[in-house]
Amino acid sequence: MIVRHLVAILLGVFVLAGAQTIPTYLLPCYRGNETQPWLPNSMPLLIELVRKIEDARPTSLDARTLSVQLFHRLRFDGIEKAPGVQETEFVTPFGITGIMAPKMRLLRQLISPPPGESELEQILSQFDLCALHRLISSSVQPFERGDEARTCPLNLATPEDRIRAPWITRN
């Protein structure tokens, strides 16, 4: 019995050690009601936020530097909510643990970060940072209503039903 608990604890430690954490400047995007429905993802919003950055520093940023800076500072794929974890003062129930996270880590290694410090936090408000982060990141947070067992028409546990729902895969 003690061995099982020890193995479970060690597995948890190894999983947490491999998981990336959300940077502190993006934590407000995942605290409180900030994860509720948001502004629609649209091209005009993206253009307006990039224009705001360019207007603040018209001569110090070229397109390449800006794109790499946005990639390294604001794009985080695979952010998921930890099921059953409640938000507290010291706990944010989100982490970079999704299926897209390993690819993101690899891309971060291949694309070298821009030289110098990022000024995005000084240029954009927290609301703008969160909006831009959500526009350029690929993270899925499935909405659960609680009545899925009664309202879903298919029993996806059998292989025959999964043929009709090819987006469901079971490992």
> At 57, which amino acid appears?
R
What distance in Å separates the CA atoms of residue 124 and residue 86, rounded to the nearest whole number? Answer: 29
What distance in Å separates the CA atoms of residue 94 and residue 60, rounded to the nearest whole number? Answer: 34
User: What is the per-residue pLDDT across 100-150, written as a single tens digit (0 to 9) for each?
Assistant: 889 999 999 999 888 777 788 889 999 999 999 989 998 766 556 666 666
What distance in Å separates the CA atoms of residue 44 and residue 50, rounded to the nearest whole number? Answer: 10
Q: Which two tokens stand for residue 149?
A: 């067992």
19, 93 Cβ separation under 8 angstroms: no
Pick from 21-35, 61-75, 76-90, 148-162: least confident: 148-162
pLDDT at site 129: 92
146-152 long-range Cβ contacts below 8 angstroms, 24+ apart? none
pLDDT at site 84: 83
How many residues are listed for the chain in this entry?
A: 171
Residue 40 has pLDDT above 60, yes or no: yes
pLDDT greater at residue 143 or residue 80: 80
Per-domain boundaries in the chain: 19-140
Highest mean pLDDT among 55-69, 71-85, 149-163: 71-85
